[in-house]
Amino acid sequence: MKLRSYLILLVVGAVLPVVIFAGVMVYVSYQQQSENLAQGMIDRARAISAALDREFLISIQSLKVLAASTHLDKGQLQEFYGDMKGALAAHSRAWQNLTLVDASGQQLINLRRPFGSPLPRTGNPEAIEHVRQSKEAAIANLSPGPVTGAPGIVVHVPVLKDGRVKYFLNVVFYPAPLTDLLLQQQLSSDWIATIIDRNHIMVARTRDVGKFLGKPASSTFAAQAGQSREATWRETTIEGTAVVAALHRSDFTGWTVGVAIPMSLLEAPMKSSLIILTAGGLLLLLTGIGLAFLFGSRISRPIAALSAAATALGKGETPRCDASPIVEVNHTARAIEDASVRRKQAEEALTGRNMELQALQEVSQAILMSPDVQTTMEKILENAVALGSYDLGIIRLVDPNTATIKPVAYRGYVNPENIHSHPQLAAADATGRLTARVVTFREPRIEEDVPNCEGLRTWKKEGVQSAIVIPVRAGEEVLGVLQLGARSPRKFTPDAVRLLMAVGDQLGIAIQKSRANEETKRHLERIRALHEIDLAITSTLELQTILNVLLEKIEVFLPIAASSTVRLLRPDSGELESLACRGLDEKAWRSQARTTLGGRAEKVVQTRAPVVVADIQRDTRTYNPAVFRGLVSYLGVPLIVHDTVLGVLSLYTRKEHEFTREESEFLVTLAGQAAIAIHNAQLYEEMVRANKVKDEFLSVMSHELRTPLSVIMGYTGMLRDGMLGEINPKQEEALQKVLGRAGDQLNMVNEIMQTTQLESRSVTAGREPVILSGLMEQLRADYQLRSGKPAVKLVWDYPAGPIEITTDSAKLKQILQNLVNNALKFTDDGTVTISARVREGVSDHNTQHLTPDSRFVELKVSDTGIGIPPEKLQQIFDKFYQVDSSETRLYGGVGLGLYIVKHFTDLLGGTVSVESEPGKGSTFVVRLLL
């Protein structure tokens, strides 16, 4: 709803109740007036009625005075006629006639007739009778006179004599005086007053009496008069006028006086009040509404303007509000204008902020998305030039090695030749001064008038008018500068400077991060290279191979090295031996290399530190320039292990090269690793040499030990068997013991020999068909002859069929012999069971390499001897290992038997396993594929 409508509603709301209230009041007062009027009318009727009564009473009184005449008393009727005449004359206005009637109703005197003329009886015998009874005067109703026929009202007054009615004195009234009586009441002309008799016949009337006299009253009037003494009512008069009427009935006469006023008269004030009220109300309403319209539009116009202003404010426009007569509106308008100004300021700040944020975001994104710092820098320049409306930009970074400031990315140059590296920061000339200052003081510099400034020579050439130089910082350190320029004069707002500083800081962090990444990457690469080289050089113990691999890898990981050499110190002579080279004429190098110390290598050995020579061609120590032709820079590092210098590792480059700290550290680390590998190779070579000597010694020794043992055993056997003469049982027993011990010793010598052979890898397995039962037979026969332990029972269990195995029978026999020997050795009494079976499929975890469908021979040697503790089971196959290795051990042997068993079964492509329980016995199982 519009404001105007509200105002109208307000007006209607304010005026209507007042009008309604006034209407109600008017109605109430009308009611009041009606009641008052009714009461007034009744009073009036009562007064008239009283006047009427009085009128009659006066006449009655006069008649009573007349009746008191002595003439009448004496019956002197003639005289009394005269008295009556006199009385009639006195009341001529009201009285028409006077009659005297005797007690029987006979007229005696009638003043209309001369005295003595014959007279009729009274015309109203009931009235006479009534008066006789009541002895009171009575007023008759209007009736036509018996003589004249003119209507009259008869009042009968009794004349008493001795308490009895003797005469009736009757007076005939004219009706006209009653009407006069009414008129005398000075009723307003609108009023109508009427007198009706007991028969409700009109006797007098203020209006048109001639017309209505003797006519019955209206039925309503008559009914009201019949019902009550006093009443008011509304009706339509016989003339057809709507009236309000009131009546009073006289107790004395029984007649009724009615007064009436036209309704129009009564309602007129109310009507006019109502009309005034309605008109006034309407006028008020209309005026109110008009004012509402007027003020509504006067208010709504500024409010509409306010609303437009608010809308404009909402749209971000600047609202204009004209002054309004309404104070509040003016206040609001000012508030909106203020809000608009503040909003504008906020927006401007926000736009600045937003641009700043957007630029920052783009730079951040550029940094995030860029694969490398170079791209980042180019993106930053691109964004800065695009967003900050600069024309050209350049990023220069401080080179940590040379302390110079070098251009790394640029944009918008007309002539890129203008870009040049700034010389040393400290010695910055006019061009570089600004940059140097920024780097030194870590603060941005603004030059808004480049053509007239001292520095920025190259930018002047580029037509730059305004420039800003921002430090690229990473924490405390300034890594370089970001320079931006515009070819037209411009100002640099604090916001712009702040933004660029943030960009510079982001770039600084990105550069630092990238540098750290590169460093880490290089570290990782170096570690990987070192590891790879380490793996390569430690994969062999052959010295020459190690050195060749080392130089080969150096070439891969240090591509700058065009040539490399390794020279090792001879421990005996202390001379340097040229052992390996790469990228050189090896023959010439070997032959011409200086063997004695004195050159660069000597310095390396002496200082135990890297030696760098920038140009060996100019180095006086270069002994044989021909060999090193075309090579320029040199880096030599010592090969040190356990504090001993083993030799020198040297690198040569083809171009002059400044070896970095990193390169030299890498080579030193590598040399350390290489030195260990070289040392190991040297040790190994020595060991191999020593082993060879030992093997030779052992084989000679064994041979030398076996020969006499064989002789001893041969002769002892002959002696025991009585081939050299009779011997007694004691001697036989002694000889048997000699044989046994000699046999043991022979075994040991054999084992040592076999082991030596095994280690020199000169043992191979033969392959020939062997009948299993035959082999077992042989063994059985051997042990029948020399079991040496009568308390131990040997049980043989093998299939008799011709099962053929392709294997080395001597080695298989040796395997079984060693197992049976051990079983016998470690069993004092009980059984040693030697069994052989052909089996199929996998049988237990020790036979992994047998497939489920393979067939194999299973040879088992089990005893009931001392057994082996579980924790020792893994070691018993090791060389020289014995469970009981104490000096006071009970059983002989050197700990090689099982070692040989293991090696021989391996050679035969089989497996050996053991199960044992201490105190219960052991079972060795050998499996050979068929």
The residues of the shown chain that bind ligand ADP, judged by CB under 6 A, are 822-823, 826, 863, 865-868, 876, 881-884, 893-899, 922
Q: Which is nearer to ligand ADP, 362 or 863 (CB)?
A: 863
**Closest CB 863 distance from ligand ADP, rounded Å:** 5
Q: Which is nearer to ligand ADP, 413 or 826 (CB)?
A: 826
- DSSP code string of 690-728: HHHHHHHHHHHHHHHHHHHHHHHHHHHHHHHTTTTS---
Helix axes of 897-907 and 809-825: crossing angle, nearest 10 degrees: 150
Which residue number, 409 or 868, has a Cβ lying nearer to ligand ADP?
A: 868
Residue 244 or 823: the one with the smaller Cβ distance to ligand ADP is: 823
CB of 703 to ligand ADP, least distance (A): 21
User: From start to end of 65-201, where are the E strands?
Assistant: 95-102, 107-110, 138-144, 151-161, 164-173, 192-196
Q: How far is the CB of 698 from ligand ADP (least distance, A)?
A: 16
Looking at beta carbons only, is 152 or 867 nearer to ligand ADP? 867
**In angstroms, how far is CA 133 from the centroid of its own chain?**
121
756, β-bridge pairs: none
Say how many Å lie between the first and final Cα of the chain, rounded.
Answer: 114
Q: How far is the CB of 702 from ligand ADP (least distance, A)?
A: 16
How would you label 651-681 residue by residue, b for 16+ Cβ within 10 Å and e otherwise?
Answer: bbbeeebebeeebbebbbbbbebbbbbbbbb
Q: Which is nearer to ligand ADP, 285 or 901 (CB)?
A: 901
Q: Tokens 């909106």 correspond to what residue?
A: 336
> Which amino acid, 737?
K
User: CB of residue 554 vs ligand ADP: minimum separation in angstroms?
Assistant: 48
Considering beta carbons, is residue 122 or 822 the nearer one to ligand ADP?
822
User: Taking the complex as a whole, how short is the minimal distance between the CB of residue 826 and ligand ADP, in angstroms?
Assistant: 3
Block residue for tokens 């006449």 = 59
Taking the least distance from each CB to ligand ADP, the nearer of 184 and 874 is 874
What is the residue-wise DSSP string for 252-292? TT--EEEEEEEHHHHHHHHHHHHHHHHHHHHHHHHHHHHHH
How far apart are CB 883 and ligand ADP at their closest, in Å? Answer: 3
Question: Contact at 8 Å (CB) between 174 and 95?
Answer: yes
Amino acid occupying residue 212:
F
DSSP per-residue codes, 774-807: HHHHHHHHHHHH----TTEEEEEE---S--EEEE
Alpha-carbon distance 767 to 749, whole Å?
26
Q: Which amino acid is at 227?
A: Q
589's enclosing H/E stretch is helix 586-592
Which own/partner pairs from 276-282 qualify as long-range (CB within 8 Å, at least 24 positions apart)?
A: 277/19, 277/22, 277/23, 277/26, 278/19, 280/19, 280/22, 281/15, 281/16, 281/18, 281/19, 281/22
Retrieve residue 590's tokens: 């070997």
Contacts 24+ apart (CB under 8 A), 355-359: 355/387, 355/499, 356/495, 356/498, 356/499, 356/502, 358/387, 359/383, 359/384, 359/387, 359/388, 359/499, 359/503
- In the complex, what is the shortest distance from the CB of residue 823 to ligand ADP, in angstroms, rounded to a whole number? 5
For ligand ADP, give the closer residue by CB, 750 or 822: 822
When the beta carbons of 458 and 913 are compared against ligand ADP, the nearer one is 913
Cβ closest to ligand ADP, residue 435 vs residue 922: 922
- Nearby residues of 347 by Cβ (< 8 Å), 6 or more positions away: 316
Q: How far is the CB of 639 from ligand ADP (least distance, A)?
A: 43
- To ligand ADP, the closest distance from the beta carbon of 820 in angstroms equals 9
Task: Between 509 and 894, name the residue whose CB sits nearer to ligand ADP.
Answer: 894
DSSP 418: G
For residue 607, count CB atoms less than 10 angstroms from its CB and return exposed for 0-12, middle for 13-18, buried for 19 or more: exposed
> Which of 589, 826 has the CB closer to ligand ADP?
826
Closest CA to 395 of 467, 456, 472: 472
In the complex, what is the shortest distance from the CB of residue 856 to ligand ADP, in angstroms, rounded to a whole number? 22
Q: Please report how close the Cβ of residue 795 comes to ligand ADP at its closest, in angstroms.
A: 15
Q: Any alpha helices (H) in 175-218, and if so which ranges?
A: 176-184, 209-212
Q: How far is the CB of 777 from ligand ADP (least distance, A)?
A: 23
